[in-house]
Amino acid sequence: MLRINNFKTNKTTMWSLISAVSLVLAISFPIWGLAQEAKQDHSGHAMGQDMKMPQTAQEHREHTEHYKKKAAEYRKEAEMHKKMLADYSKTVARNPKDTGESGYIKKMRLHCEKYSKAAEALAQEADEMAKFHTMRAKEMEGK
* Same-domain check for residues 59 and 37: no
In a domain, 47, yes or no: no
* Regions in the chain scoring below 50 on pLDDT: none
Please give the Cα distance from 77 to 74 (Å, whole number).
Answer: 5
* Same-domain check for residues 87 and 126: yes
Per residue in 76-106, pLDDT (tens digit) is: 999 999 998 888 888 877 777 777 777 888 8
* Same-domain check for residues 1 and 35: yes
Looking at residue 36, what is its pLDDT?
A: 58
* Same-domain check for residues 30 and 76: no
Looking at residue 22, what is its pLDDT?
A: 75
Looking at residue 86, what is its pLDDT?
A: 86
Looking at residue 27, what is its pLDDT?
A: 74
Structural domains of the chain, count: 2
What domain range includes position 108? 55-143
Looking at residue 132, what is its pLDDT?
A: 95
Burial of 104 (0-12, 13-18, 19+ CB in 10 A): middle
In a domain, 130, yes or no: yes
